[in-house]
Chains A and B, each alone.
Chain A
Amino acid sequence: MDVILFLVFAIIAVLCAINVVVQTHPIASALSLIGVMGSLAVLYLLLGAEFIAAAQVIVYAGAVMVLFVFVIMLLNAGEEVHRGRSFVVQVLGAPLLIALLGLLVYFAQRLFPGAPMVRFGAFRGGTAVAVGRALFTQYLLPFEVTSVLILIAILGAIVLARKELD
């Protein structure tokens, strides 16, 4: 059952990710990206990260992607115009990407020989209680600093996107 669930959602994630890159219209890319995020949330759930799975759906697939869709609609972004790519990307892009993929897959297969098998329900440390306890004791300072970061980001977004009031 675990294998079936993993394979189904991994294949959905990879197909949607390919669609993100291949589609020429940004709105199609955005909808495919929501598919990737949704299937990743299921995989998080299989890995025992309940809280992060919920946050993935709410924050990423909900808030961030709504922001993306808003901006795409607002700017009325159409099909992208294809012009000549830069020479460096044309020559080196595909070989470098294949090398990167090969390295990542090699490390994933070889670097952790003693890694345990993933069985749903074997690790129950990802509940909201456990995450909250770690967040507010061991990681309290980073958490507070993050709130300052978000405040700065809000101010920056408002300053950048406001209308000129002259």
Chain B
Amino acid sequence: MNAVPLSWYLTLSGVLFTLGAAGFLFRRNIITVFMSIELMLNAVNLSFISFSYAFRRVDGQIFTFFVMVVAAAEAAVGLAIILTVFKNRNTLNIDDLNSMKDEYQPAQPEEASETAPVSVP
């Protein structure tokens, strides 16, 4: 009773991954969708560490380290993209961000007239 089967850890990893996938599919806010991806990455990390324990080798932990680094880089670039999208479209709802599907609608002209006097002096 003092030890946990390895399959419990793997099951927990599967449950977390499925919850992340559910968030990815069902949520409409682009930031929440992005956080669901982070949740899936964390679930995969847990199974990497579990296998690292099972094989008594450190390699799984190295993989987790690389996944963390790539996730940090991905978060920086992804959030910059979200910022740019919000600046151009003024929405965070992924239902409205379908310009690759529909025709592109140019930005409203009144935004340009507002920013023009600021840049003159």
Contact = CB atoms under 8 A, between A and B. Distances in A.
Given A21-B36, A146-B66, A67 B75 contact: yes
A17 B19 contact: yes
Interface residues of A, number: 81
B42 A36 contact: yes
Contacts of B19: 14, 17-18, 20-21
Interface residues of B, number: 73
Nearest to A28: B32
A6 to B, nearest CB: 5
Contacts of B17: 100, 104
Contact of B31 (A40, A71, A81, A116): A71
Contacts of B77: 153, 156-157, 160
Contact of B76 (A123, A146, A154): A154
B100 interface: no
Nearest to A142: B66
- Please indicate which of the listed interface residues B1, B13, B23 has the most CB atoms of chain A within 10 Å of its own CB: B23
A18 B16 CA distance: 9
A49 B76 contact: no
Contacts of A115: 5-7, 54
A145 to B, nearest CB: 10
Contacts of A160: 77, 80-81, 83-84
A28 to B, nearest CB: 10
A87 interface: no
- Please indicate which of the listed interface residues B53, B66, B72 has the most CB atoms of chain A within 10 Å of its own CB: B53
Contacts of B29: 26, 77, 80
A60 B31 contact: no
Interface of B: 1-23, 25-29, 31-32, 34-36, 38-39, 42, 45-46, 49-50, 52-54, 56-59, 61-62, 64-66, 68-77, 79-84, 86, 92-93, 95, 119
19 contacts: A10-B8, A17-B20, A20-B35, A20-B36, A21-B19, A43-B9, A46-B4, A47-B50, A55-B68, A63-B72, A68-B79, A104-B11, A108-B13, A112-B54, A116-B53, A126-B61, A131-B61, A135-B65, A150-B72
